[in-house]
Amino acid sequence: MLKSERAKFIMDYLESCYPKTPIPLNNKNNFELLVAVLLSAQCTDERVNKVTPSLFAIANNPFDMQAIDIETIYNIIRPCGLAPQKSKAIHKLSKILVEKFKGIVPSDIIELEKLPGVGHKTASVVVSQGFGIPAFPVDTHIHRLAQRWGLTSGKNVKTTERDLKNLFPSDRWNKLHLQIIFYGREFCSAWGCDGTVCEICTKCYPNRKKPVNTKKG
């Protein structure tokens, strides 16, 4: 298959597997989404979803969040890991949102990336899932699978994001990035498939015999 043919097959196959793509992180507004995505760094979505109800019960908006002390935030989010950094970032970004944006999470990805603890991937998830703006957040699953499927050289996550955006139509980015994550977790995990096991890997590369070594980015 040519790369464009692989991309078409993958897009169609994933749509048949995951016609619905619920947002993995539970949230009721864009502030909750922003905080949840920040907490998900080096933490599972499942654990974040167990922690956030307690946090959002006392502060589900930047006005309330800036009013509670960092230690309180820390004690609640500790199970998510990196709690010292994350608690400070949540408190500080809440204050910035109040002072600079009147308590509203901006839809501008550049403004989001300026917030403490918010990198490009986090900002991309927020604009994609919170505002419906086309974006292609690249996490470890997407970075790994894009290499296994021959869609990118995988030099780094920036390259992977650029290559995927060039391959797929922008109106599919938001859904497709979730579909790839779901598939990666279920069928093409780091240990469950080595590039020669799952349906997509074997269809795209039927003659592949050796495991694919992927770059971590």
Mean pLDDT score across all residues of the chain:
97
Q: How many helices (H) and strands (E) does the chain have?
A: 13, 0
Closest CA to 143 of 160, 155, 128: 160
Domain ranges of the chain: 3-20+136-204, 30-131
Average pLDDT estimate for 213-217: 85
The set of residues, in sequence order, having a beta carbon less than 8 Å from that of 59 and lying 6+ positions away, is 65, 67, 68, 94
Q: What is the pLDDT of residues 162-201, one digit of tens each?
A: 999 999 999 999 999 999 999 999 999 999 999 999 999 9
Closest CA to 184 of 172, 171, 173, 197: 197
What pLDDT is stored for residue 216 in this prediction? 83
What dotted CATH number matches 30-131? 1.10.340.30
CA distance 127 to 122: 9
Average pLDDT estimate for 4-20: 98
| Percent of the chain's residues with pLDDT above 70 | 100
Does the domain spanning 3-20+136-204 belong to CATH 1.10.1670.10? yes
Active-site residue set:
121, 139
DSSP state of 29: S
Residue 154 has pLDDT above 90, yes or no: no
